[in-house]
Amino acid sequence: MQILIDHLATTLHTAAERKTPLQIHGGGSKAFYGNPVAGENVDVLDVATYSGIIDYDPTELVVTARAGTRLADLEAKLNQQGQMLAFEPPHFAAAATLGGCVATGLSGPRRASAGAVRDFVLGVRLLDGMGSDLHFGGQVMKNVAGYDVSRLQVGAMGTLGILLEVSLKVLPQPQSERTVRMQMNETEAIQRVNQWAGKPLPISASCFCEGELTVRLSGAESAVHAAHAKLGGEELAEGKSFWESVREQTHAFFQSGKTLWRLSIKSTTPPVSLPGQQLIEWNGALRWLVSDEGVDAETIRTVASNAAGHATLFRSGESRAEVFHPLAPGMMKIHRLLKQKFDPVGILNHGRLYPEHLNANQSR
């Protein structure tokens, strides 16, 4: 396995010398997400071969795996021990890897109650843009030695390094789960899920779509039963597959082929008025918008900013807008500088997050 790392490091040295931009390619399941890698003559660097679980001891609640490990394999292994990745990362394809999961930083339905990818990352091993092999964080729950470079990689879209290995905190699967559904309007649904989130109830996911609020309860059977009695609603027999369809975006809502926006906003924001259909997750903090033609990105971004959040062009049908929400100038400056520190020549997934990165390097 060291041979693979040496090979990657050599490739990076060469690319840095020749200033050849590299597109980091894992399983390709989230290749649609983010801006394209900028520049001409981009080389594709396949990193999926560096795979396999390195260390997993269920009673430590920690798993360490190579970034090329398929998410499906990792989750199957945890499942055998009654454990899980609590942030329910979307796969979007069978080839999805752990590295892509961390690089995109996407979390699924359980996020509002359990936390996001970044909340479970304990340590990383990575190659920076000069091919240096670096370790940050570790395999323990609590670790405040050095700056938190591990979590900095989450959602960085591979612009700060090639992830080699990741250590994650894992959690036991709940003893039982039950999905219940009730009819109500959007305003009422947003109000309810926020009220419930402030009560000691075992709610592990919520989804509002087309006048139906679906809620998942997780925990001891007795607790789930008691909570169902409090909340009311009809039990949904196919609960598991419903949440799977929300997580993997196979739910009919996501199947229109139109432009899909992701609005991550303050959970209590009243119904957001934008043309198109919406699906609401995370107790109101995540609003998916399938937008009709003619809604410009700026309008959507203004709405998200006004709701104390941000908007991402998740899947672009026709839209050619910037994928990620623009940053304030002071924040953009920090982003540029950090990128330069990790990748001085600018060869790693350049422009995948913000095209400004490229401009900064060109002007140097």
Partner 1 sequence: MSLQTLVNQLRSFLPPEAVLHETEDLKPYECDALSAYRQLPMVVVLPRTEEQVIKVLQLCHAMKIPIVARGAGTGLSGGALPHAEGVLLSLARLNQIIAVEPLARMARVQPGVRNLAISEAAAPYGLHYAPDPSSQIACSIGGNVAENSGGVHCLKYGLTVHNILKLRVLTIEGECLEIGGESLDSAGYDLLALMTGSEGMLGIVTEITVKLIPVPEQAQLVMAAFDDIHKAGNAVANVIGAGIIPAGMEMMDKITIHAVEEFLHAGYDLDAAAILLCESDGSTEEVADEIGRIQAIMQQSGAIKISTSRNEAERLSFWAGRKAAFPAAGRVSPDYYCMDGTIPRKHLADVLCGIENLSQAYGLRCMNVFHAGDGNLHPLILYDANQPGELEKTEEFGSKILEMCIRAGGTITGEHGVGMEKINQMCLQFKTRELEMFHAIKATFDPEGLLNPGKAVPTLHRCAELGAMHVHRGEEKFPELPRL
Closest CB 145 distance from partner 1, rounded Å = 5
Scanning residues 8 to 47, which ones bind partner 1 (CB under 8 A)? none
Q: CB–CB of 258/291 below 8 Å?
A: yes
Examine residue 175 and tell whether it contacts partner 1 (CB under 8 A).
Answer: yes
Cα–Cα distances in Å, from 112 out to 71, 82, 102, 108, 299? 21, 21, 18, 9, 26
- Indicate whether 282 belongs to the interface with partner 1 (CB under 8 A): yes
SS3 label, residue 136: strand
Among the residue ranges 69-77, 125-133, 208-216, 246-254, the one whose residues contact partner 1 (CB under 8 A):
125-133
CB closer to partner 1, 30 vs 70: 30
Which neighbouring-strand residues pair with 286? Answer: 264, 281
Does position 189 interact with partner 1 (CB under 8 A)? The reply is no
Pair of tokens at residue 7: 């090979």
61 sits near partner 1 (criterion: CB under 8 A):
yes
The region of 12-20, 220-228, 243-251, 272-280 touching partner 1 under the rule CB under 8 A is 220-228
Residue 244 or 324 with smaller CB distance to partner 1: 324
CB within 8 Å of 41: residues ≥ 6 apart = 20, 21
Contacts of 320 (CB under 8 A, 6+ apart): none
Are 112 and 206 spatial neighbours (Cβ–Cβ below 8 Å)? yes
Binding residue for partner 1 (CB under 8 A) from 189, 353, 358, 360? 353
Residue 328 class from Cβ within 10 Å (0-12 exposed, 13-18 middle, 19+ buried)?
Answer: exposed
110 makes contact with partner 1 (CB under 8 A): no
Residue in 77, 135, 181, 228 binding partner 1, rule: CB under 8 A:
135
Nearer to partner 1, 44 or 337 (CB): 337
- Return the amino acid letter for 221: E
Residue list 328-347, contact with partner 1 (CB under 8 A) = 328, 330-331, 334-335, 337-338, 341-342
26-34, 70-78, 241-249, 265-273 -> range binding partner 1 (CB under 8 A): 265-273
Q: Among 10, 195, 255, 306, which residue sits at the site for partner 1 (rule: CB under 8 A)?
A: 195
User: Based on CB atoms, which residue is closest to partner 1, 70 or 335?
Assistant: 335
- Residue 60 CB, shortest distance to partner 1, in Å, is 5
DSSP state of 11: H
CB-CB contact of 63 with 40 (8 Å): no
Q: Are 268 and 190 in contact (CB under 8 A)?
A: yes
29, 96 contact by CB (below 8 A) = yes
Least Å distance, CB 94 to partner 1, is 26
- Note whether 223 binds partner 1 by CB under 8 A: yes
